[in-house]
Structure 1
Amino acid sequence: MAESTGTWPSLTNDHPLHQLHTRLPKILADAGHSTIWGVHLSSAAPPAFATLLVLQKYLRSVANDVDKAAESLTKTLKWRKDFGLDTDAAPDDFGPDFEGLGYVTKVGKADGKSDVVTWNVYGAVKDLKKPFGDLDRFLRWRINLMEQAITHLDLSNTSIPIPDYGKGSDPHRIDQVHLYGGVSFLRMNPLVRVASKAVIEIMQAHYPEMLLRKFFVEVPLIMSWVFTAISLFVSTETAKKFQVISYKENLGKELGKLEDVPVEYGGKGPDLKTLAQQLENGEKA
């Protein structure tokens, strides 16, 4: 896949992004892996646009600390290699145990652009042991959902740069919606606790600056432990992106174009399965 030919703002030699790019040969050699989010990281000069895009996300996640960004990127690349990501293997078929549990859609915005949205439908879980009983399988499913969403950001082809840390928002991020309607049976279940903790740790470590907003919809009081867990495992900046919505009908106006949100969540669109299929069909057209 050809990468973007967009132009990045000029970088001085002392700019953190330039400094991190000069470390790429060592980072890639140490990791033994060079692909992330559909982008092949290149240490060639002049720097490739898509490569700078990835490096900028890592820099922003650590307030421009080049040492920390290099360390974090190296760990992520090693993890992706060990986890078996970025291969030509066919996607895993997780079967009926995960049917209806997760979707990826896009929601239009007033400016004509759109946000990628992942939906975690916990109310679709009928037997906790099926999705949560095998932790490795659950994590692979959840990471697959995240990777699927990231493909729709099209980071290898975009021509829109990410502003420097503290100088504007990152336009390449994802909304996440967690739907808790009808999940009273999840009360403090150890399988769910372990899986939730593991997902939070992976997202925090290996998907920096990917979260735009996270909506918790119809959260029962007995699920308050979710927010206790969040406060322990995410940064203050990440926690600020979380929104609790008690009534699901109020979600639509928070997301954007109502035609891209199901009616039951305050929109005017079809169900999640249909919206997800429409996105896939549209991207393949």
Structure 2
Amino acid sequence: MSWPDLKDDHPLLRLHAKLPQILEEAAHDRIWGLTLSAESPPAFSTLLVLQKYLRSVSDDVEQAATALARTLKWRKEFGLDGAGLQAGTGKTEEEYGPDFDGLGYVTIVKHNGKAEIVTWNVYGAVKSLKSTFGDLDRFLRWRVALMERAISHLHLESTTMPIPDYCSNTVDPHRIAQVHLYEGVSFLRMDPHVKAASKATIEIMSAHYPEMLSRKFFVGVPLIMSWMFTAMKLIISAETAKKFVVISYKENLAAELGDAEGVPAEYGGKGPDLKHLENVLESRDA
């Protein structure tokens, strides 16, 4: 596999030239199921990762190098990428205990004629604020596991589709949509555990999963949760904020996602429940 239009002064090649130093500094070379390689010619999968970091900082090579090194150090410290670990954490998110049952799913929808991976956070399924959000480290490990599992369905290790240059104004095809469901939520309000978990999750996703978000839907958000959006805008970029869609009525979600068969009927689609849809994806990629 070859990457198109790589001239000597291309930001990708300049960032790749820094990779030996980055890998030595981080003492870690695994990310999103891929092993970064400093060998030349650059590996296609390595260029995928580098391009995401470049696009996230408008092709600033120095900033991209710093951000990538920071991510690799974090992944090592967080315990990701060990031999034989499932979903990058050693556990699937369901194995964090019954407090997380039914709280997260990964499915696939069709959007503009293409497949799009979707993560679902079902906050109405939270049984206990203290049990789910009280242990911040456990919650973050569960949330990272969900993200890592979703990324595994992008098949970055085998794709032959490059990521366009930042200056092309063309979208990255290797991204994930997120749906946050707040139906039945009456307990989040200003709970300090929820606020801490939300803030930490946003920081992790912004810092260590650049250019992974295609669209983000907030469904049935209570007015009392307006603090959450205020907090987000203080952390995320304006470009990321443009990807946010707030939906008042859950029945409108399927139309916004652009699919019917891949969305449960209760959200305006024609599909089965989220667990069945997740099983369809798992079977497809087994």
Deviation at 1:110, TM superposition (A): 4.2
Distance (whole Å) between structure 1 residues aligned to residue 243 and residue 266 of structure 2? 23
Residue-by-residue CA offset, 1:57-99 (whole Å, 9 max, x unaligned): 0000000000000000000000001101011235322121100
Deviation at 1:258, TM superposition (A): 0.6
Is the CA contact 1:104–1:149 (under 8 Å) kept in the aligned structure 2? yes
Distance (whole Å) between structure 2 residues aligned to residue 52 and residue 70 of structure 1? 13
Asked if 1:86 is matched to 2:96, the reply is no
Distance (whole Å) between structure 1 residues aligned to residue 34 and residue 121 of structure 2? 26
- Structure 2 residue runs of 5 or longer lacking an equivalent are none
1:231-246 matches, within 5 Å, as 231-246=233-248
Aligned to 2:219: 217
Is the CA contact 1:33–1:81 (under 8 Å) kept in the aligned structure 2? yes
Deviation at 1:126, TM superposition (A): 1.9
Distance (whole Å) between structure 1 residues aligned to residue 228 and residue 126 of structure 2? 17
Aligned to 1:65: 60
Distance (whole Å) between structure 2 residues aligned to residue 84 and residue 182 of structure 1? 34
1:28 to 1, 6, 23: 23
Aligned to 2:157: 156
Question: Residue 259 of structure 1 aligns to a residue in which SS?
Answer: coil
Is the CA contact 2:217–2:244 (under 8 Å) kept in the aligned structure 1? yes
Distance (whole Å) between structure 2 residues aligned to residue 143 and residue 89 of structure 1? 13
Asked if 1:56 is matched to 2:61, the reply is no
1:1-285 matches, within 5 Å, as 6-87=1-82, 88-90=84-86, 91-92=90-91, 93-111=95-113, 113-167=114-168, 168-284=170-286
Question: Residue 267 of structure 1 aligns to a residue in which SS?
Answer: coil
Question: Residue 44 of structure 1 aligns to a residue in which SS?
Answer: coil
Give the partner amino acid of 1:193.
Answer: K
Distance (whole Å) between structure 2 residues aligned to residue 81 and residue 258 of structure 1? 40
Distance (whole Å) between structure 1 residues aligned to residue 112 and residue 30 of structure 2? 33
Residue-by-residue CA offset, 1:18-60 (whole Å, 9 max, x unaligned): 1000111111010000010111111111111110010000000
Deviation at 1:109, TM superposition (A): 3.0
Deviation at 1:101, TM superposition (A): 0.3
Identity rate, percent: 66
Query: What is the RMSD of the two structures over their aligned residues, measured on CA atoms?
Result: 0.9
Distance (whole Å) between structure 2 residues aligned to residue 61 and residue 89 of structure 1? 28
Distance (whole Å) between structure 2 residues aligned to residue 79 and residue 169 of structure 1? 27
Is the CA contact 1:110–1:257 (under 8 Å) kept in the aligned structure 2? no
Is the CA contact 1:115–1:175 (under 8 Å) kept in the aligned structure 2? yes
Distance (whole Å) between structure 2 residues aligned to residue 109 and residue 57 of structure 1? 21
Distance (whole Å) between structure 2 residues aligned to residue 82 and residue 160 of structure 1? 31
Is the CA contact 2:33–2:157 (under 8 Å) kept in the aligned structure 1? yes
Give the TM-score normalised by the residue count of structure 1. Answer: 0.96
Distance (whole Å) between structure 2 residues aligned to residue 21 and residue 249 of structure 1? 46
Distance (whole Å) between structure 1 residues aligned to residue 175 and residue 252 of structure 2? 22
Give the TM-score normalised by the residue count of structure 2. Answer: 0.95
Q: Write out the 4+ residue segments of structure 1 that deviate beyond 3 Å after TM superposition.
A: none
Is the CA contact 1:184–1:222 (under 8 Å) kept in the aligned structure 2? no
Deviation at 1:10, TM superposition (A): 3.1
Question: Residue 260 of structure 1 aligns to a residue in which SS?
Answer: coil
Deviation at 1:179, TM superposition (A): 0.3
Distance (whole Å) between structure 2 residues aligned to residue 56 and residue 105 of structure 1? 25
